[in-house]
A and B are shown apart, each in its own frame.
Chain A
Amino acid sequence: MRFDLLPHAPVIVPLAFLVGAMLAVLGTLFRPRWAQPLAVAVSAFATLVAAGGLVHVLAEGTIRYQLAGWRPPLGIELVMDPLSAFLTLLMAGVGLLVLIHSRPIVPRELPGRETAFYAASLLLLGGLCGLVLTGDLFNLYVFIEIVSLSSYALLGIGSKRAPFSAFRYLVMGTTAGSLYLLGLACIYMRTGTLNMADFAAIVPEVADQVPVQIGVVLLLTGLALKSALFPLHGWLPDAYTDGGSTATALIAPIGTKAALYAMLRVTYFLLGPALVADGALVADVIAYLGAAGILWGSFLAMSQRELKRMLAYSSVAQVGYIALGIGLASGYGFIGAVLHIVNHACMKACLFLVSGNLRQVVHHSYLPNIDSSVRRKMPWSMAAFSVAAVSMIGLPPTAGFFSKWYLALGTVEQGRWVLLASLLISTLLNAVYFVRVFEQIYLRPAREGAGGRPASGEAPLSMVVPTVVFAVLLLVLGVGNALLVDHLLLPMLGGGAS
Chain B
Amino acid sequence: MIESMTPLFAVLTPLLAIPLIVAARRMPDVRESFTIMAALAAFALVASLVTQVDANTLVGSGSWEVVAGIELNLRVDQTGLYFGLIASGLWLVTCFYSIGYVRAHDEKNQTRYFASFAACVGSTLGVAFAGNLVTFLVFYEMLSLATYPLVIHSESPKAIRSGRKYLTYALTAGVLLMAAVIWTGVTVGNFDFKPGGIIEPDMLDAGSMRVLFLLFLAGVGVKAGLMPLHGWLPAAMVAPTPVSALLHAVAVVKSGVFGIIRVVGFVFGPETMHLYGLDGLLVFVAGTTIVLASCIALRQDNLKRRLAYSTVGHLSYIVLGIALLSRDGFAGGMLHMVNHATMKITLFFCAGAIMVHLHKDRVSQLDGIGRAMPWTMGAFAIGALGLAGVPPVNGFLSKWLLCEGATDIALIVLLTSGLLNAAYFFPIVHRAFFRAPSEEVAAKGEAPTIMVVPICFVAGLSVGLFFWPDLFLGMARDVAAAVFGKGAA
Contacts and interface: CB of A to CB of B under 8 A. Distances in A.
B148 to A, nearest CB: 9
Interface string A131-165: 00000000000000000000000000000000000
Interface in B170-224: 171-172, 174-176, 178-179, 182-183, 185-186
Chain A interface size, as a band, is: 20 to 34
Interface stretch (B64-72, B235-243, B272-280): B64-72
B141 A424 contact: no
Contacts of B139: 396
Interface residues of B, number: 30
A367 interface: no
A22 interface: no
Contact of B171 (A396, A428, A481): A428
A118 interface: no
Given A409-B185, A482-B64, A397 B142 contact: yes
Contacts of A482: 64-67
Contacts of B70: 409
B167 interface: yes
Nearest to B145: A395
Given A395-B141, A409-B185, A409-B186, A420 B179 contact: yes
Contact of B183 (A393, A412, A428, A431): A412
Nearest to A443: B155
A393 B164 CA distance: 15
B160 interface: yes
A408 interface: yes
Interface string A220-247: 0000000000000000000000000000
A396 B138 CA distance: 6
Given A412-B183, A485-B66, A490-B68, A428 B172 contact: yes
A428 B176 CA distance: 11
Contacts of B142: 395-397
B152 interface: yes
Nearest to A409: B182
A409 B178 CA distance: 10
Contacts of B144: 395
Given A395-B141, A424-B175, A428-B171, A412 B186 contact: yes
Given A409-B186, A424-B178, A431-B171, A401 B67 contact: no
Nearest to B176: A424
A427 interface: yes
A439 interface: yes
A459 B286 CA distance: 54
A435 B167 contact: yes
Nearest to A332: B67
Contacts of B67: 335, 406, 482, 485-486, 490
A383 to B, nearest CB: 10
A180 interface: no
A402 interface: yes
Interface in B108-167: 137-139, 141-142, 144-145, 152, 155, 160, 163-164, 167
A278 interface: no
A473 B373 CA distance: 53
A397 B171 CA distance: 15
B66 A408 contact: no
Contacts of A490: 67-68
Interface string A436-461: 00010001010000000000000000
A498 B138 CA distance: 30
A360 to B, nearest CB: 26
Given A408-B178, A485-B66, A413 B186 contact: yes
Contacts of A393: 171
Contacts of B68: 486, 490
Contacts of B175: 424-425, 427-428
Contacts of B164: 435, 439
Contact of B66 (A402, A412, A420, A425): A402
A97 interface: no
A401 B138 CA distance: 9
A479 B12 CA distance: 14
A420 B164 CA distance: 24
A79 interface: no
A390 interface: yes
A479 B65 CA distance: 10
Nearest to B175: A424
Contacts of A481: 66
Contact of A431 (B65, B152, B163, B167): B167
A401 B66 CA distance: 12
A78 B170 CA distance: 48
A439 B160 contact: yes
Given A335-B67, A406-B67, 18 more contacts: A395-B142, A395-B144, A396-B137, A396-B139, A401-B138, A405-B66, A408-B179, A409-B70, A409-B182, A412-B185, A427-B175, A435-B164, A435-B167, A443-B152, A443-B160, A481-B66, A482-B66, A485-B67
Which 3 pairs, one residue from A and one from B, show the smallest C-beta to C-beta distance? A396-B138, A424-B175, A485-B67
8 contacts: A397-B142, A427-B175, A428-B171, A428-B172, A439-B163, A439-B164, A443-B155, A485-B67
